[in-house]
Amino acid sequence: MAITNDKKKIVVLGGSYAGVSTAHYLLKHAIPKLPDPKSYQIVLISTSSQAMCRPAAPRALISDTMFPQDKLFVGIQKSFSQYASGSFVFEQGTATALDYENQTVSVLPVKTDNSSGSAEFKINYHALVIATGASTPSPLLGFTRDETVLKSSWAAFRGALPKAKHIVIAGGGASGVEVAGELGEHLNGRAGWRSTLSDPKVRITLLSGGARILPYLRPAIAQTAEAYLAKVGVRIVHNARVTTVSPGGAGTGDVAVNATLALSNGEMLQADLYIPATGAVPNTKFVPETVRCPDGRVNTHASTLRVIGAGERVYSIGDVSSAARPAVHNITSMVPVLCANIKRDLLLAAGVSAQAAGEDRTFEEDTRETQLVPVGKSKGVGAAMGMRVPSFLVWLIKGRDYWLWTTGNLWSGKQWAKES
């Protein structure tokens, strides 16, 4: 189904957790309750034709045998085939410009194996949801464009992995720890009763820019993670950041090239493989600076999830939004609130009275200590709602398949079957 000019378009930018969930929820619980449902069309724009369980990347990058590929990657368009014809359109493309004064967003179609792409075009939106997420410095850890680029990066890395004697990972957050743990266990095994693996087959160095790893978790939990990493042959260097990389594209453009790394502590490292896992950058180049925060995220009202200063019916959710810390559990809490407020605004725009449309719903971030971090296939650390989670439960909830057990219902929309 093509984008039609005779419908009011609700454009959702982004095809991951936030964007896919928002589109499903609106189609199930918002559009049917509008005065003329058939006059609306959800348009989902994503650079990738497939949704991916991105948290699984630290293990998935090692081999396709780690996860069933048909569960790791799921076609977006097929996930929305359940809805009435004309109510949903998927367009594989990249947002290039937002003009909120004229309510248009420019989109450049992505070139694929089956298409050479086409010219940039503009969509007039009636409502807009910015859910473009964030990109990792390393193309091994998520979509920098689409699934083809990601799989190509994995193939190159896997080709170089058997020859590697020293792997350097930059970043002491969850991604860096998870990558180090997965590679350490895969390449070196795990020490038994010994506290450390003193003579690993492959040296793995994890660079932490701060005094400790995992800054979102309490120091005692971070120390446990360090002990688990030591058992798989990972050496941690604290208070050290990469200042220069040679060659310049090592780890970001070429994932399989040897690299020389200069560190902020004066040390020089030679790496057979280098993985920068230093944090994601919001995908907001297309968003005017007037509605961006200094950190690049979209300036979003923390309670209503409307974009501040972007005019009527513009919203933001997920890693790209300033409303909450980037985390899947925050996204799933945001979706019902966001969609309720979109429905209210659409009702008002359709001439429904404010009394009938109801009040805004408000989102409140749960700021209690919450993060689960697997360290290899059998260990992990973390906390949930302020309470420490034992290693076995981290494995059970996340570590056994990195949330893959949850994504089927999310991509299909079954998770949002009931309005909440």
Average pLDDT value for residue range 285-314? 98
Average pLDDT value for residue range 230-247? 97
- Residue 113 is predicted with a pLDDT of 61
- Residue 166 is predicted with a pLDDT of 98
Average pLDDT value for residue range 278-288? 95
Rounded to two decimals, the pTM is: 0.95
- Residue 182 is predicted with a pLDDT of 98
Q: Which range among 198-202, 333-337, 373-377, 380-384 shows the weakest confidence by mean pLDDT?
A: 198-202
CA 215, CA 210: separation in Å to the nearest integer? 8
Average pLDDT value for residue range 199-206? 95
CA 347, CA 356: separation in Å to the nearest integer? 9
Q: Is pLDDT at 78 greater than 60 in this prediction?
A: yes
- Long-range Cβ contact pairs of 403-409 (< 8 A, separation 24 or more): 403/53, 403/55, 403/56, 403/328, 404/53, 404/56, 404/67, 404/68, 404/71, 404/72, 407/51, 407/53, 407/71, 407/74, 408/71, 408/74
Give percent of the chain above pLDDT 90. Answer: 92
C-beta separation of 215 from 172 below 8 A: yes
- Residue 60 is predicted with a pLDDT of 98
In the structure, what pLDDT confidence band is assigned to residue 145 with cuts at 50, 70 and 90? confident
Average pLDDT value for residue range 306-310? 98
- Residue 1 is predicted with a pLDDT of 57
Torsion of CA 410, 413, 414, 416, to 10 degrees: 90
- Residue 203 is predicted with a pLDDT of 97
User: How confident is the model over 323-352, as pLDDT tens digits?
Assistant: 999 999 999 999 999 999 999 999 999 999
- Residue 199 is predicted with a pLDDT of 87
Beta bridge partners of 242: 263
Average pLDDT value for residue range 297-316? 98
Q: Which range among 205-209, 257-261, 279-283 shows the weakest confidence by mean pLDDT?
A: 279-283
User: How confident is the model over 181-196, as pLDDT tens digits?
Assistant: 999 999 999 877 767 7
- Residue 311 is predicted with a pLDDT of 96
Whole-angstrom CA distances from 292 to 169, 171, 300, 309, 311 are 30, 25, 9, 10, 14
